[in-house]
Amino acid sequence: MAYITYKKFMSYENLTTIYAYQTGIYNNYSNALANAEKLNGSIIINDNNQFLVIAAVAPSTTSKEKIEYLLQNENIDYYQKQLSLKTNLKKDLSYYEQALNQTNDLDTLKQLNQKLLEKLQERITK
């Protein structure tokens, strides 16, 4: 689980949109952490002192359907949120998006979602 600051990866030039699947928003980190621990592999984003718990990420509208299928099968309630990211991060996620679009296997979708979250976390915390 990661705690990251949203402002670190947002830029006003060369923005691109990804879809984040938020499972909660909290005023304090400890409550966000309690929610995130229930969802293995989720990340926490600090957005202006609001702590968002993100359980999944879809790099584009093409992969949204696969991620939503996964979350529904895991009985995870979510709110879909659009995040604006620097273009170079989008390029990092494109490999996983291609793999998402080629499978319907739930275990594979889980692994790919985990990799997407890890990549997002890695790029944001640099």
What are the DSSP calls for 28-40, one per residue? SHHHHHHHHHHST
* Tokens 């990866």 -> residue: 9
Count CA atoms closer than 13 A to 41's CA, side-chain side.
16
102: Cα separation from own chain's centroid: 19
Domain segments of the chain: what residues? 2-124
Q: State the CB neighbour count (10 A cutoff) for residue 72.
A: 11
Q: State the CB neighbour count (10 A cutoff) for residue 61.
A: 9
Q: Decide: 42 and 54 in contact? Cβ < 8 Å.
A: yes
**Residue-wise pLDDT tens for the chain (126 aa)?**
444 445 444 444 556 788 999 999 999 999 999 999 988 889 998 888 899 999 999 988 888 999 999 999 999 999 999 887 766 666 677 788 888 889 989 999 999 999 888 887 776 655
Q: Decide: 21 and 30 in contact? Cβ < 8 Å.
A: no
Selected from 3.20.20.80, 3.30.70.1070, 3.40.50.300, 3.40.50.9100, the CATH number assigned to the domain covering 2-124 reads 3.30.70.1070
